[in-house]
Amino acid sequence: MRLKIEQAGEPVLRQAARPLTRQEILGDEIQRLIQDMRETMRDAPGVGLAAPQVGLSLQLAVIEDREELLKDLPPRELADKDRRPVPFHVIINPQIILTGDDEASFYEGCLSLGGFSAVVPRARAVRVEYLDEQGEPRSVNASGWYARILQHEIDHLHGTLYLDRMQTRTFTSIDNWNRYWKGKPIGEPS
């Protein structure tokens, strides 16, 4: 079932979400929620979706950067962003650990801020410890665009939107991003 994606201004997007117990994770309600969030994310389309974005203040997010989303992007952009496909997975009660001081700044959007984008500096590499959809502990070392997706979704679980991290003068509508910035390095408008 496709879920409604909450937009900026909804209080749930600004609350710290509560952790889930293993018993809750294994229950029918959360298992159904995971499937509904996966369908909603794919339909949007997006590369991640956090439970607060569908109105639930829970520390749960789904992530997937599908090959079909990358196929029309120029090779230079894929290389600059260190972007490659990421298989579907669920992160629950995640803890993020920065693995270096190196940052990258790119335009970033959000399904809860439909129609807008801004440059957001993020760590290039992170380690995330989390529970999977079976309540089992997992960890991942991520870099590039995948690290950005993880940071973005984990921010949602703490009531943070990219607006809180963006370079404010870069905030733009998607139409103007397409007109002036698409395919160009940061700092080189037409």
Whole-number Å distance between alpha carbons of 154 and 85? 19
Is 153 tagged catalytic? Answer: yes
Helix or strand (DSSP H, E) at 131: strand 125-131
Whole-number Å distance between alpha carbons of 8 and 161? 8
In the set 10, 77, 153, 188, the catalytic residue is 153
Whole-number Å distance between alpha carbons of 26 and 136? 10
> Is 60 in contact with 16 (CB distance < 8 Å)?
no
Residues in the chain: 190
Whole-number Å distance between alpha carbons of 26 and 31? 7
> Is 154 in contact with 145 (CB distance < 8 Å)?
no
Q: Would you please indicate which residues are annotated as catalytic (active-site) residues?
A: 153
